[in-house]
């Protein structure tokens, strides 16, 4: 093992809570959904059985309607460690939420899970134990993808509707600015943020006004008892998220491969293939020839979200390397101002760009991993590893100076490092 892979393995070991992994030691002391998928890819190179356990733990908190919650709370972590805690979420207002324990949030996050299981399967070289566990997980995976393709897309547009910026995984992206600006914040109980106690520089995190909006949206979701049809009728924040949808497309392609491993019936395969076709068509329909990007669709504003961010490259993640999009991608990563040729979360040419602010400019290693996986472009891997050698396992990185930002020892950064080195 190289020195860097040993250090990455040590980060996973440090965040390992026994069968599941904290997203970060202090800032995120619970299990997050898409983090767990990346983390499982990292564990696959150390211990494939442990990798599957990561996802089994997450799926054991799945809701009855198939939704995979975005946070599964550690029952023994001090409640003051992370806000909002389970008492704010009140997930059991929904009849679909599992009876605690486990306590969960009421949102979901991008479905990287089948992509992770495909990776684990390839790494473990056909282990019978992993095959048996994949067979047991299959109905849950299918229910998760069904929930997204159907309950989150009643229009059958092929695009997933998100109810909250936290569902995108790119919380503070300018993609959500206009939709959030229309949300009128009502009376909120007093609350205390914990994130700014862990990350001392508030310039790297969302503002208090952003947090009021995030928490108000959760209040509204609770009033709707997390019921999808009610939310889709009444909620002020409804956006078709192209990056989320592209991950779902990639995950459906991975699921088709896993269908062979588990011996799934043809009816399952036909369903998955149908979802995948719809997602590819939905993404193609969001193409903006002027920006040469694929754009989210704000349902309440009835308008495409004209922002230059990493999400504009969503079709690449879904396996569609349209030449104009690829050319735009190459032009963004070859910007001479960048310290490394990697994708900034928001383009320096977008008016909302801020080089150190959450999802408004910095580089996220897992985002580059998704592009690298789709394009097989070794330059992305080499540059990412150089960045990590310099910055450590930072949550995110200033794109021009290479300054490490956010949490140190972020589990998913260590996990993709292990995959890149393998
Ligand atoms: C809210 C855990 C998560 C990531 C998200 C990232 C951040 C949470 C927060 O941390 O979000 O879910 O409190 O800021 O934006 O992508 O999954 O690492």
At 98-115, the pLDDT tens digits run 999 999 999 999 999 999
How many C-alpha atoms does 129 have within 13 Å on its Cβ side?
9
Quick: pLDDT tens for 143-154. Answer: 999 999 999 999
Residue 79 has pLDDT above 80, yes or no: no
Distance 73 CA to ligand 1 centre (A): 13
Distance 172 CA to ligand 1 centre (A): 10
Dihedral sign computed on CA atoms, order 93, 96, 100, 103: negative
Does the C-beta of 32 come closer than 6 Å to ligand 1? yes
Cis previous bond, 102, omega within 30: yes
What is the percent of the chain where pLDDT is above 70?
100
Does the C-beta of 138 come closer than 6 Å to ligand 1? no
Instruction: Look at residue 347 in the predicted model and tell me its pLDDT.
Output: 98
- Choice from 166, 191, 365, 414 to test ligand 1 binding pocket (greatest atom count within 8 A of CB): 166
Quick: pLDDT tens for 151-198. Answer: 999 999 999 999 999 999 999 999 999 999 999 999 999 999 999 998
Residue 310 has pLDDT above 80, yes or no: yes
Does the C-beta of 214 come closer than 6 Å to ligand 1? no
Give whole-number Cα distances, 347 to 152, 246, 350, 369, in Å: 28, 19, 5, 18
Quick: pLDDT tens for 341-377. Answer: 999 999 999 999 999 999 999 999 999 999 999 999 9
Nearest-atom number in ligand 1 for the CA of 412 is: 18
Does the C-beta of 144 come closer than 6 Å to ligand 1? no
Give the chain's mean pLDDT.
97
Contacts (Cβ under 8 Å, ≥6 apart) of 316: 246, 325, 326, 329, 371, 374, 375
- C-alpha Rg value of the chain to the nearest Å: 20
Angle, CA of 365, 170 and 359, to the nearest 5°: 70
Confidence band for 321, pLDDT divided at 50, 70 and 90: confident
Query: Where in the sequence numbering do the catalytic residues fall?
Result: 171, 395
Does the C-beta of 38 come closer than 6 Å to ligand 1? no
């Amino acid at each position: 093992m190289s020195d860097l892979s040993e250090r990455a393995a040590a980060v996973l070991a440090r965040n390992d809570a026994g069968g599941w992994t904290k997203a970060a030691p202090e800032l995120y002391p619970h299990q997050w959904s898409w983090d767990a998928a990346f983390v499982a890819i990292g564990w696959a190179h150390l211990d494939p059985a442990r990798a599957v356990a990561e996802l089994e733990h997450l799926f054991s908190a799945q809701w009855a309607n198939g939704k995979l919650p975005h946070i599964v709370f550690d029952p023994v972590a001090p409640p003051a460690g992370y806000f909002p805690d389970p008492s704010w979420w009140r997930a059991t207002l929904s009849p679909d939420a599992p009876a605690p324990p486990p306590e969960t949030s009421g949102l979901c996050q991008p479905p990287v899970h089948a992509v992770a299981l495909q990776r684990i399967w390839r790494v473990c070289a056909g282990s019978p134990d992993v095959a048996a566990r994949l067979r047991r997980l299959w109905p849950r995976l299918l229910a998760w993808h069904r929930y997204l393709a159907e309950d989150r897309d009643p229009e059958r547009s092929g695009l997933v509707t998100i109810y909250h910026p936290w569902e995108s995984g790119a919380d503070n992206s300018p993609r959500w600015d206009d939709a959030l600006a229309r949300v009128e914040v009502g009376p909120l109980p007093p609350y205390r943020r914990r994130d700014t106690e862990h990350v001392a520089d508030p310039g790297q995190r969302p503002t208090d006004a952003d947090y009021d909006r995030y928490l108000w949206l959760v209040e509204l979701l609770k009033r709707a008892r997390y019921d999808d049809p009610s939310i889709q009728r009444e909620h002020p924040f409804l956006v078709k998220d192209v990056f989320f949808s592209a991950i779902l497309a990639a995950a459906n392609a991975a699921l088709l491969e896993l269908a062979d491993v588990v011996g799934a019936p043809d009816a399952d395969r036909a369903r998955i293939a149908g979802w995948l076709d719809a997602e590819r068509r939905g993404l193609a329909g969001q193409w903006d020839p002027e920006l040469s990007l694929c754009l989210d669709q704000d349902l309440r504003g009835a308008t495409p979200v004209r922002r230059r961010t990493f999400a504009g490259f969503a079709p690449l993640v879904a396996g569609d390397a349209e030449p104009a999009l690829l050319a735009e991608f190459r032009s963004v990563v070859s910007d001479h101002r960048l310290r490394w040729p990697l994708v900034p979360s928001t383009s320096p040419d977008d008016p909302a760009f801020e080089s150190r602010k959450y999802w408004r400019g910095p580089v996220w290693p897992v985002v580059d991993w998704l592009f690298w996986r789709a394009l097989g472009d070794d330059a992305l891997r080499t540059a990412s590893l150089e960045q990590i050698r310099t910055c450590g396992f930072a949550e995110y990185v200033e794109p021009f100076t290479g300054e490490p930002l956010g949490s140190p020892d972020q589990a998913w950064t260590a996990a993709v490092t292990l995959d890149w080195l393998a």
